[in-house]
Amino acid sequence: MKLLSEDDYRLYSLLQEAATFAYDKERCFRFMVSPAESRDLDVIWMIKNIEFDAATPIARIRMDIPAYADLNSNFVNPVWTLNEDEIDYFNRFIRQKSVNTFACSDKDDLLEITVFQKAVLILNYEKYYLEPADTYKLMYSDYSKKNEGPLPFDFPIPDYRQLG
């Protein structure tokens, strides 16, 4: 039986609450949210490989503004800073429409949503234990007054072209 390294164990601990919300199989990228990584920030992980371990570079991108998340003691992977082409790709990818199959009971529940909105749904489910139906009811106008708690479904997607 192989023992995990300390870094692999810390990554494994973060993954206990993490959830994948999208893949790009052509580019071999995985996109995840990990509520355990930071209780104060909502962060998207853009991972440089679909299969990954503690040595795989990860871009940690904030959901509220076009900025990288600051490192914290829980994070073990190498930091991936996106180049201009990768920033442009991320900005376009996060806005793509797809059919939401998360927590849908039948085909009548399917909605066309952006990849970003799917990240919001899954983050709220994992971090705040909020069902998708309850996230749909949250409004940005209410959230912007307090700036904390679950993200509203209509949260504006930041202009990630300004990421840097």
pLDDT tens figures, 102-135: 655 544 456 789 999 999 999 999 888 999 889 9
d(CA 67, CA 30): 19
Is 1 part of any domain? no
Is 13 part of any domain? yes
Residue 102 CB-density burial (10 A; 0-12 exposed, 13-18 middle, 19+ buried): middle
Is 46 part of any domain? yes
pLDDT at 61: 93
Is 37 part of any domain? yes
Provide the sign of the torsion angle of the four alpha carbons 119, 125, 127, 128, taken in this order. positive
Residue 100: pLDDT above 80? no
pLDDT at 41: 78
Structurally, the chain folds into a number of domains equal to 1
88, 161 Cβ separation under 8 angstroms: yes
Dig out the tokens for 29 from the structure.
Answer: 């990228």
pLDDT at 108: 47
Is 129 part of any domain? yes
Is 81 part of any domain? yes
pLDDT at 117: 94
Q: Cα 136 to the chain's mean position, in Å?
A: 17
Can you give the residue range of the structural domain that contains 43?
A: 6-162
**Tens digit of each residue's pLDDT (9 = 90 or more) over 9-68:** 555 565 556 778 898 999 989 898 987 666 677 888 888 887 877 778 889 899 999 999
Who wins on pLDDT, 73 or 140?
140
